[in-house]
Amino acid sequence: MTPTLVHSGKVRQLYDVGDGLLLMVASDRISAYDVVFDELIPQKGRVLTAMTAFWADELADVVPGTVLSDDPEEIADRVPEAASLTSSRWSILDGRALLVRRAEMLSIECIVRGYLAGQAYDEYSVTGTVHGTAMPPGLRLAEQLSEPIFTPSTKAATGHDLNIGFDDAAEIVGRAAAERAREVSLALYSKAAARAAAAGLVLADTKFELGYVDGELCLCDEVVTPDSSRIWPADQVAPGTTPPAFDKQPLRDWAASSGWDKRPPPPPLPPDVVRATSDRYVAAYERVTGRRLADWYGARS
């Protein structure tokens, strides 16, 4: 069948290719404060795809994944029409596409936090809670928690996701499903954090997407990428300060100092910010996996 676009997000597009399969394509687009910039970040889509494929293999013994293939030639063989899904700036066959099984998605985001950062720290600094749950006093920014915690959020069709407590998640998806999601998410985080630690990195927090395939809960969408996770160099984590992150931090730092009001349209990104952001994404993949991005599909000489 001709691939049919079923979802277009800030970064990814999903195509229905029949037989219960989807084609998940990552572009080089980037957003900040829910605004997509005009400039592309070179290699970003390849990094997100390569990291997801890596983690799908690494975490397969925890819960089944939905990824069937990351090989552009195999994808083209199974979905010949896929080669036509190109734009003037990228091709799905440039190492940025995954063929996946279609899942019935849980309608919550499954976030696990091992360190206090981001919105969790913002809430804690005001109320002493994280997602409404009381936490020990005296915790500092970037401090490791006594144990990882499951902190779900809603999935907003428009606007921002909302942080919720476990009981709220249970009301949305049912208590049994919420308990299973919590169990799976914590197990996934534990294994991913250990793998990151072996590479000299801290997986501060990450967001998992879970869904059902043939009645079985599976790991879906992107997995432990710089877009869905905080990944810090372990030797630069000092509680009370913000560690450097392998993500879009160069863009955020520039945006915060640019005078931009964080509303569309976004200002043009300077070339050095584009380059620095691209370098961070590439470094994330290579540090986490121990592999060269130049060896991933779609490399250009």
pLDDT of 52: 98
Who contacts 160 (Cβ-Cβ below 8 Å, separation ≥6)? 34
Domains of the chain in start order, with CATH, are: 1-102 (3.30.200.20), 104-236 (3.30.470.20)
- What H or E segment, with its residue span, contains residue 108? strand 108-115
pLDDT of 81: 82
Who contacts 120 (Cβ-Cβ below 8 Å, separation ≥6)? 113, 130, 131, 151, 205
For the chain, residues with pLDDT lower than 70 are: 86-93, 157-160, 301
pLDDT digits (tens, 9 = 90+) for 16-74: 999 999 999 999 999 988 899 999 999 999 999 999 999 999 999 999 999 999 999 89
